[in-house]
Amino acid sequence: MAVETKLEAPIDMMTLMHKAFRVQSERTEALAAEAQGGGDLGALTEAFGFWMKQLLYHATSEDKAMTAPLNDCQPARDNESEHAELAAQGTSLVGFIQKGDAAGLEESVKATMLTMEDDQHKELADKAQEVESALKEALGESTVTARTRRHLYRRIMALRILEYDHFENEEAFVCSVVKERMSDQEQLVMVKQILTEEGADDPRWIIQWVLDEIDPAEREWLTALESRFNSVIAGGSGESEKKRGFFARLFGSKK
């Protein structure tokens, strides 16, 4: 996993970013494993929220700045599909966590409903809420909590595995094309869009996190890269406009 990659072209920053993601994913998964034993979900919710915030921004900015310009390139299209899959699993997990400790029960009820005949299903759908509370009563609060937390752990692990597979594919099949097709100058403009968010209160919220998670030598290289891309004239695109409201879209009304 920790393959040493030479840091040369600007796109090589991707290995450092993915490294930061691995650290955050494993941290979250460890908290989810721990949460199976009970206790408060605060630390897990926070770690997971931060991971998703970074991951969804990462996927969105890569689609726009990295793969959109790669025409006639199947790996770029595959990469975009993998992002869509990651985003779907990630956002559904955000919803799961927001439901709290009864979420696993709701999932079980839904699964039961799916196996039923249509008319039975309709009838039950109307009464889903009642069924849930009846089950909750029958199972007892602690069983419901334990079930939810097992599901949560399993889903977080599944998301991490999907993410790791994606990183490997992207590094092997997309970053190589970027190196072939884009000049260093073009790559600098691109990585600036992936590592910073123009127009945000803190435009450096992405790169600062990556810097915090990597080794000193890597940090030195990335800091030098930041100076380089800051000195490149980006050629004024209307990026900040589209990025506004990113969190409103992701977390709904939750601030």
Shortest distance, CB of residue 156 to Fe ion, whole angstroms? 19
Residue 239 burial (C-beta neighbours within 10 Å; 0-12, 13-18, 19+): middle
> What whole-number distance in Å separates Cα of residue 113 and Cα of residue 121?
6
> What whole-number distance in Å separates Cα of residue 151 and Cα of residue 147?
6
Residue 72 burial (C-beta neighbours within 10 Å; 0-12, 13-18, 19+): exposed
Which of these ranges, 121-129, 134-142, 157-165, 168-176, lies near Fe ion under the rule CB under 5 A?
Answer: 168-176
Number of residues that bind Fe ion (CB under 5 A): 2
Q: Which of 15/145 has CB closer to Fe ion?
A: 15
Shortest distance, CB of residue 199 to Fe ion, whole angstroms? 21
DSSP H helices, 66-170, are 74-98, 103-114, 118-126, 128-139, 141-169
Mask 16-55, x = binds Fe ion (CB under 5 A)? Answer: ----------------------------------------
Q: Which of 106/170 has CB closer to Fe ion?
A: 170
Q: Which of 170/218 has CB closer to Fe ion?
A: 170
Which of these ranges, 152-160, 166-174, 231-239, 240-248, lies near Fe ion under the rule CB under 5 A?
Answer: 166-174
Q: State the Rg of the chain over Cα.
A: 21
Q: Which of 21/48 has CB closer to Fe ion?
A: 21
Q: Which of 83/149 has CB closer to Fe ion?
A: 83
Site for Fe ion contains 80 (CB under 5 A)? no
Q: Which of 62/226 has CB closer to Fe ion?
A: 62
Mask 48-67, x = binds Fe ion (CB under 5 A)? Answer: --------------x-----
Q: Which of 106, 170, 197, 226 binds Fe ion (CB under 5 A)?
A: 170
Nearby residues of 111 by Cβ (< 8 Å), 6 or more positions away: none
Locus of tokens 């956002």: 91
Shortest distance, CB of residue 83 to Fe ion, whole angstroms? 6
SS percent in the chain: helix, strand, coil, step 5: 80, 0, 20
Residue 145 burial (C-beta neighbours within 10 Å; 0-12, 13-18, 19+): buried
Residues within the interface to Fe ion (CB under 5 A): 62, 170
